[in-house]
Amino acid sequence: MPGMHKMRQTLTRISWLGFCLMLPYWLPFLVIRLRMWIFTKVNGDEGVQLPNDSIDAAYFKQIYEHKNAGGRSRGAALSDLFWYWLSPGPEMHQEHLENGERYEHIARITRDVLAVPHHQIELLTEKCLENVLAEKVTRPWQMVRLRDLFMPVWAEFYYELVFGQQCPAYARQLIVANASDVVNALKGCSLRHMPQRSRLTHFLIKKLQAGAFPHAFPGEFTVEEQAFYLQGTYFNTAIVQMSEAMAHTLMAIAHHPAVQARLAATPNDNHYLDQVITETLRLFPLFGIAHRITSGPIDVDEKTTIPSGTVLCFNYPAYHQTGYDQPEKFIPERWEHLSPKEAHYIPFGVYGNRSCPAQRIALISIKAATPMVLKQFQLISSAAHTRSMPNRGPCLLLARQAGLPYPFRQAVLLWMRVQDRWEDVYHSLLQLFLGTFMVWHARCLQLTQTHFARQVSAEKASI
Ligand code: HEM
């Protein structure tokens, strides 16, 4: 029977080999399920996801825009996690300030900073992108991670927008380090590194003390609070969101050669570019969920009322998947006869409830940057394109005047695909461990609850 034994051994080896080779196809999926389960276990199941089985997408906007859906941070355990990721100074982040006078002051300063003429936004985008491309893309064909490529572009852009001066290399490095740290932690790919983030806070405090910020803050904000505001809005949110938006736009274009060919052949067709960007932000909305805490009951219909104190979780990707033909497909042409205002489409939030103040500037910048990249490069990618994009958008930039022999190009694509699938296994395990740790750590620190408890004691003491 030694023959049978040998055969059994060979079969076992083949099964193990098959099991290992198939890892990229089942492990990441399982790990995501496990992460969701752990998240619910640690944080509790406090949120009501919308849309859901009993409240469908038809009510989504009406509830989001309801006057009682106004609480931002207070009263939700979920806020602890967002505050943890956005530290330092999450209590000064516009997105997380409760409605009231302080919020109004901050929102006004943001409006002032972002009120820049259209052509100036285009010029600044072009200048910053040109600098970074010249510095970072030096070969006729080069592998890049799109998100990483764009971080320094927006660091230069927002530094100049905020301080009215060209961004020095040292500041750019601090800003990119801060924004990368935030986004990597948010995606569970790395832990937070607070000393790294604090270096930017100290730098901003010095800039403010030197009078470098040309907009006047009302008197009640300390210099540290002002620095937290600048860091949170411009050197964290703006850099992260813009780099992600550009990476999604270019990844979508790289994955759809016909779309790319049309954009490259008709660089002045703004209408089609609009459709491509609209479809990108529909299929890959940057927000997974935005949450609100209800300050009073919300009547949905005669039978359903959402009680006061409910944590509402508005699920953007789920909402964007309703009301379309073939919603899972990337079809820019669908916007030919469809208006974003009438569709289930809210990539920048809802107007009635603190939508994104940077919608205009963000869209002008993306529209200026995309044709510039396509004029110089052909984009090629075989890496996965998912909404959370933990792979940071791997892409081959091939200079338009350069050629790449067909077999070589195919080999690059194959290599990229294999590398990406295995990276996905690595990322999903990393996200499982680091994500679980951060959810637990945020729960222990209870940043939101501590902040509001302190505020209540201070108010009592002053009476
Ligand atoms: C394509 C890029 C961007 C997208 C898709 C986007 C998306 C959003 C969304 C969906 C919201 C609303 C969230 C909610 O309802 O809770 C929001 C809020 C906000 N965004 Fe953006 N954003 C982008 C770029 C930016 C940039 C560049 C900045 C800064 C310059 C910025 C600053 C803010 C702020 C401060 C808020 C909070 C508004 C408030 O509560 O008053 N965003 N963004």
Q: Which of 8-12, 116-120, 262-266, 432-436 has the lowest average pLDDT?
A: 8-12
Helix/strand/coil percentages in the chain, nearest 5 = 65, 5, 30
How many angstroms does the Cα of residue 200 sit away from the middle of ligand 1? Answer: 21
**Which of 79, 92, 236, 241 to mutate for ligand 1's pocket (most ligand atoms within 8 Å of CB)?**
241
Nearest CA to ligand 1 atom 35: 94
Nearest CA to ligand 1 atom 29: 238
Average pLDDT over residues 190-207: 98
The model's pLDDT over 93-104, given as tens digits with 9 standing for 90+, comes to 999 999 999 999
Asked whether the beta carbons of 213 and 339 are under 8 A apart, the reply is no
Atom in ligand 1 nearest the alpha carbon of residue 96: 40
CA distance 153 to 155: 5
How many angstroms does the Cα of residue 68 sit away from the middle of ligand 1? Answer: 21
Atom in ligand 1 nearest the alpha carbon of residue 94: 35
Q: Which two tokens stand for residue 402?
A: 């350069």
The model's pLDDT over 228-278, given as tens digits with 9 standing for 90+, comes to 999 999 999 999 999 999 999 999 999 999 999 999 999 999 999 999 999
Asked whether the beta carbons of 63 and 329 are under 8 A apart, the reply is no
Neighbour tally for 463: CB within 10 Å: 4
Strand 289-293 versus strand 311-315 pairing type: antiparallel
pLDDT band at 368 (very low <50, low <70, confident <90, very high): very high
Q: What residues line ligand 1, using a CB cutoff of 6 Å?
A: 94-95, 107, 110, 233-234, 237-238, 241-242, 245, 286-287, 290, 347-349, 354-358, 362
What's residue 76's pLDDT?
Answer: 87
How many angstroms does the Cα of residue 132 sit away from the middle of ligand 1? Answer: 24
In the chain, what's the furthest Cα-to-Cα distance? Answer: 91
Atom in ligand 1 nearest the alpha carbon of residue 114: 30
Asked whether the beta carbons of 157 and 420 are under 8 A apart, the reply is no
Q: Which two tokens stand for residue 153?
A: 């572009």
What's residue 41's pLDDT?
Answer: 60
In the predicted structure, residue 28 carries a pLDDT above the cut 70: no
Annotate 117-155 with DSSP letters as a single string: -HHHHHHHHHHHHHHHHHHH--SSEEEEEHHHHHHHHHH
Average pLDDT over residues 308-316: 93
pLDDT band at 42 (very low <50, low <70, confident <90, very high): low
pLDDT band at 34 (very low <50, low <70, confident <90, very high): low
How many angstroms does the Cα of residue 417 sit away from the middle of ligand 1? Answer: 32
The model's pLDDT over 281-311, given as tens digits with 9 standing for 90+, comes to 999 999 998 999 999 999 998 889 999 999 9
Domains of the chain: 51-462 (1.10.630.10)
Say what the pTM is.
0.94
Of residues 77 and 418, more confidently modeled: 418
148-153 long-range contacts, CB within 8 A, separation 24+: 148/180, 148/243, 148/392, 150/242, 150/243, 150/246, 150/247, 150/369, 151/176, 151/179, 151/180, 151/239, 151/243, 152/176, 153/125, 153/128, 153/129, 153/243, 153/246, 153/369
pLDDT band at 1 (very low <50, low <70, confident <90, very high): low
Q: Which of 22-26, 230-234, 361-365 has the lowest average pLDDT?
A: 22-26
Asked whether the beta carbons of 151 and 235 are under 8 A apart, the reply is no
What spatial distance separates the first Cα and last Cα of the chain, rounded to whole Å? 91
How many angstroms does the Cα of residue 61 sit away from the middle of ligand 1? Answer: 17
SS3 87: coil
Buried b (16+ CB within 10 A) or exposed e, 34-49: ebeeebeeebeeebbb
Rg from Cα positions in the chain: 24
In the predicted structure, residue 18 carries a pLDDT above the cut 90: no
Nearest CA to ligand 1 atom 19: 356
